[in-house]
Structure 1
Amino acid sequence: MEHIEVNIEEEHQSERIDKVIASVDPGWSRSQVQNWVKEGNVTVNGKQIKTNYKVSTGDVVSITIPDPSPLDVVPEEMDLDIVYEDHDVLVVNKPRGMVVHPAAGNYTGTLVNGLMAHCKDLSGINGVLRPGIVHRIDKDTTGLLMVAKNDMAHESLVNQLKAKTTKRKYKAIVHGMMPHDRGTIDAPIGRDKSDRQKMTVTDENSRDAVTHFNVLERFDGFTLVECQLETGRTHQIRVHMKYIGFPLAGDPKYGPKKTLDIKGQALHAGVLGFQHPRRDTYIEFEAPLPKDMEALLDKLRRKMG
């Protein structure tokens, strides 16, 4: 179990306790927090409270995060696109529509289910629901993911992500004809107060986020860009591109309704590079664009011609 203490600042005066706690970590939902309160895992100034408790400036909120309930993740045979594999790491090219790991409402059909059928040795650092998973890409984003097959490899890869020494390049089709050839978006990302399912650029309860981009090709009303992540925040490229006025084509969450015919955002994690945890040599992999993105680009090129 993990214990966290939060001191209530004046800006949160009279807000509901579940709303305040949910804003501490983007991964916590209000319903999850309400369950913690009901189970007695949240106290204010040493006393148990109800979910409708409104905080006061100076309150000390203590949160005990319970260990996740044990769940069996069932191995499922899948035709995974394994780009590289050895005793320590595995690199997989994830298709559109596949969730990376099991979570509420999605306990089957995930990449983790497929990986567990493919190989029995995955690191246990992230627990039963996310064995081997070092980083994620969204359900409808395609491309490369690194997976740790033991705890040594897991720690090494996580440390490389923290040190910003991994290479992660994405290709995206965005709305609008981008006038500048390259740039850097340095804008902190946090949970959107008006919609808990979204992230946004904000100074409140946010984390630093940096995306570098350069234009690869321009079309009539659209641009193909390459984005390199310096940080890895939830929905980072999708949020940053919307923030500068060039939302991703096909993005149901951050893009316009009138868009290109593609099931999900036109975003592909095409290049992944990192130091091998055991050999300490740099290795890099590239995955070609998925067929649906290639088809969109062909259409856009024909329109230009």
Structure 2
Amino acid sequence: MPLLPSCFTRFLTPIDTIALPEKFNYPFYYEPHPLCIVAAKELQEYLQTQQDWIHNFGLDNTQTGLVIGKMFGVLVVQHQSGELGYLAAFSGKLAGSNHHKGFVPPVFDVLEEGGFFLEGEKELNQINRTIEQLEQDESFQQLQKNTEIKLAEIIHQIEEEKRKLREGKKDRKIRRETAKEELSEGEYLELCELLKEESLKQQYFAKKDLQVLQTKQEELSGELETYTNRIHHLKESRKGKSSALQQRIFEQYAFLNYNAESKNLADIFNYELKIAPPAGAGECAAPKLLQYAFQHHLKPISIAEFWWGQSPASEIRKHKDFYPACRGKCEPILKHMLKGLEVDENPMLVNPAEGKSVSMVYEDDFMCVINKPAEFLSVAGIHIKDSVYERMRAKFPDATGPLVVHRLDMSTSGLMLIAKNEEIYKKLQSQFIKRTVEKRYVALLDGEIVDDEGMIDLPLRVDLDDRPRQLVCYEYGKPARTKWRVITRKEGKTKVNFWPITGRTHQLRVHAAHVLGLGTPIVGDDIYGTKSQRLHLHAEWIKFKHPVSGKEISFCVEADF
């Protein structure tokens, strides 16, 4: 019987009554299989009690140093003998190292002592130090300063010479025009010859002066270029060596798949997206786990990843909660690695609106107000066309214009305005742009919050590595403000009203879940919280001016939760 691989962990908890899944779970949207939940609990128990290494997750107030929470992963596998067990992995480095007992190794270890990466890094660091020394050299800095002053003087002198030429030309023109009225034809022609000679003389001496000044300018610039060229060549060399080193690293990350086919990181991203791999690609837990399984002929059964530690400042990551694999870094890699393995269908390709209907709340000749069900697209997506827009287009075939005046997230239910022609669309849109439309949402939060009301102001931007997830970002984020008030607190849940001042993607969901917001996700939030039957967020009330009558009207449809 083949020996068990060193990273294969036997279950300590009895699992005899847990049935195996029919297919491997889709890693970008899933509910953890019971076997993964057991494996994760056992790994979490180890993380709470281990003394093999020290890492500050932000869970122990007595620890000092930088707080870094981590994503951990478990992969339930079946050995050739039929025995079930699991593998464990962490994303990136843990406690400053790529290797720890009980965890699968990285696909490629850039920190290997004597490896080409560390040697290449030393060379790049030496170039950096040389550049820094040259840029901070006192004689170079003094030369820069003196050159800048002298060049400024020369440029001023050049401009002065050019100004004199312009003034001389202007003066001669005035003299010529005045003389034409006062002098005889012969005297006028004689003056024109004198003015012409004066012009040529001025241009001659100006040209000589300009040539002298330009020569001085070139000499000064050339003196400085002795230093700057050296720095430029060093920077170009650094750029080339860094690029070559990065490319070599990409080539070392060779990923197997279920069919035992290997493909490196550079080829995967170039083939799939025609781009260079993003930083950190291949270092996440999921690729590490699958790579180890394929290398040791272990059959993958199910995978799950959870967050351990304090949430980062920008992202929403809750201690012990499960999260899908990131799309930006992992999707192209896992698409290759899972080839040949039976995997659950991508739920994003299944029409969530199947069997659901859009109810009409109000309708006249110009517009209507509808109540959108939860898990229903406002407009057509890449793969799924069924949406509010398509349903309205079918209902009003003679309508002109964009129809859908504003959108709700697919998972959010509630009131939406529909325009029947382009003119009405523009009038309603204008109210949204001017923020004169008032909207109120109701949400059920997955926990009890202390305060009764308040204002949340957290700027948001998209997570480029994991769309459509949003991040709190004070540098690049767009302003996002939400007013809120508690309605009720009951059985560990809090029902609240939200009044969005701005309308950013996932604004209410992030403001509810983020630690700097309410710190409590909305019930059923499958991105920032825990999946349930539905997202408990509903646009229940809206007030605006009718686009034709100008009369202020409002509508309200209560949530079904």
TM-score when scaled to structure 1? 0.65
2:470 aligns with one of 184, 191, 199: 199
SS at match of 1:157: helix
Is 1:87 paired with 2:365? Answer: yes
2:451 aligns with one of 174, 180, 190: 180
Question: Which residue is 1:161 aligned to?
Answer: 432
Question: Which residue is 1:252 aligned to?
Answer: 526
Note the alpha carbon deviations across 1:231-276, whole angstroms, 9 max, x for none: 111111001111220110110001136xxxx422100110011111
Q: Residues 220-239 of structure 1: matches in 2 within 5 Å?
A: 220-239=491-510
Q: Structure 1: which 4+ aligned runs deviate by more than 6 Å?
A: none
SS at match of 1:169: strand
CA contact (8 A) 1:81 1:94 kept: yes
More helix by share: 2
Q: CA deviation at 1:134?
A: 1.6
SS at match of 2:511: helix
Distance verdict in 2 for CA 1:168–1:120, change over 3 Å: same
More strand by share: 1
Distance verdict in 2 for CA 1:184–1:122, change over 3 Å: farther
Amino acid paired to 2:360? I
* In 1, Cα distance between equivalents of 2:456 and 2:400: 34
Amino acid paired to 1:105? H
Identity %: 33
Structure 1: segments with no counterpart, 5+ residues: 1-12, 16-33, 39-49, 55-75, 125-130, 294-305
Is 1:268 paired with 2:538? Answer: yes
Question: Which residue is 1:142 aligned to?
Answer: 413
Question: Which residue is 1:64 aligned to?
Answer: none
The higher radius of gyration belongs to 2
Q: Residues 268-287 of structure 1: matches in 2 within 5 Å?
A: 268-287=538-557
Distance verdict in 2 for CA 1:138–1:132, change over 3 Å: same
Distance verdict in 2 for CA 1:77–1:191, change over 3 Å: closer
Distance verdict in 2 for CA 1:91–1:207, change over 3 Å: same
Distance verdict in 2 for CA 1:121–1:240, change over 3 Å: farther
Aligned residues: 216
CA contact (8 A) 2:357 2:373 kept: no
* In 1, Cα distance between equivalents of 2:356 and 2:462: 34
Question: Which residue is 2:396 aligned to?
Answer: 119
* In 1, Cα distance between equivalents of 2:475 and 2:403: 31
- Once superposed, what is the RMSD of the aligned Cα atoms? 2.8
Amino acid paired to 1:256? T
Amino acid paired to 1:177? E
* In 2, Cα distance between equivalents of 1:121 and 1:233: 32
Q: CA deviation at 1:176?
A: 1.9
Q: Residues 283-294 of structure 1: matches in 2 within 5 Å?
A: 283-290=553-560, 293=561
2:381 aligns with one of 80, 100, 103: 103
CA contact (8 A) 1:144 1:287 kept: yes
Q: CA deviation at 1:79?
A: 4.3
Q: Residues 24-39 of structure 1: matches in 2 within 5 Å?
A: none
CA contact (8 A) 2:374 2:535 kept: no
CA contact (8 A) 1:141 1:267 kept: yes
Question: Which residue is 1:46 aligned to?
Answer: none
CA contact (8 A) 2:463 2:471 kept: yes
Question: Which residue is 2:216 aligned to?
Answer: none
